[in-house]
């Protein structure tokens, strides 16, 4: 049974996605590449409302099939438990990525935020398994991919 608060990640073909989700991805690309400066401009350019953009923007990201040499940043919400950061770092290291930055917030109400920036090296082309294995660690409440470069 799925634990409360844990999101599952799915790899879905583009043709199976509702058009609005594809438009949100395109709007995010426009903003990332600075082709537009505001969410309103991005939403208008791809033909969706700003509310649709905000509703889905944190839930869908473009997946890079070939992630080698890319930098990926994650945000994790994790329980304040001794050794949990070490478990996360060991799991990430198991996939042969290079850890570029680590920042953990001071825990509030038993939860801390951890941001990690990782460089994907030549041996790993698909980060899906790594993400799933980190999310499966006991004490990880949520994991979100913030950026890919």
- Structurally, how many domains does the chain consist of? 2
- Which residues face 77 on adjacent strands? 113, 142
Q: Are residues 76 and 44 in the same domain?
A: no
Rounded CA gap, 24 and 38, in Å?
13
Q: Are residues 50 and 81 in the same domain?
A: no
Domain range enclosing 33: 14-56
**Single pTM value for the model:** 0.55
Q: Are residues 109 and 79 in the same domain?
A: yes
pLDDT per residue over 65-93, tens digit each? 444 567 888 899 999 999 999 999 999 88
pLDDT per residue over 106-125, tens digit each? 999 999 999 999 888 766 65
Q: Is residue 36 part of a domain?
A: yes
Q: With the C-alpha atoms ordered 51, 54, 59, 65, is the resulting torsion angle positive or negative?
A: positive
């Amino acid at each position: 049974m799925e634990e409360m608060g844990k999101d599952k990640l799915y790899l879905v073909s583009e043709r199976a996605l509702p058009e609005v989700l594809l438009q949100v991805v395109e709007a995010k690309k426009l903003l990332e590449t600075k082709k537009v400066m505001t969410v309103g401009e991005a939403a208008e350019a791809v033909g969706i409302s700003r509310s649709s953009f905000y509703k889905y923007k944190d839930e869908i990201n473009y997946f890079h099939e070939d992630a080698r040499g890319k930098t990926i940043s994650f945000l994790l919400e994790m329980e304040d438990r001794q050794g949990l950061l070490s478990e996360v770092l060991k799991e990430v290291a198991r996939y042969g990525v290079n850890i570029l930055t680590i920042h953990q917030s001071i825990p509030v109400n038993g939860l801390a935020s951890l941001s990690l920036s990782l460089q994907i090296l030549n041996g790993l082309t698909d980060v899906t398994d790594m993400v799933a294995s980190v999310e499966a660690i006991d004490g990880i409440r949520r994991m979100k991919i913030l950026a890919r470069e």
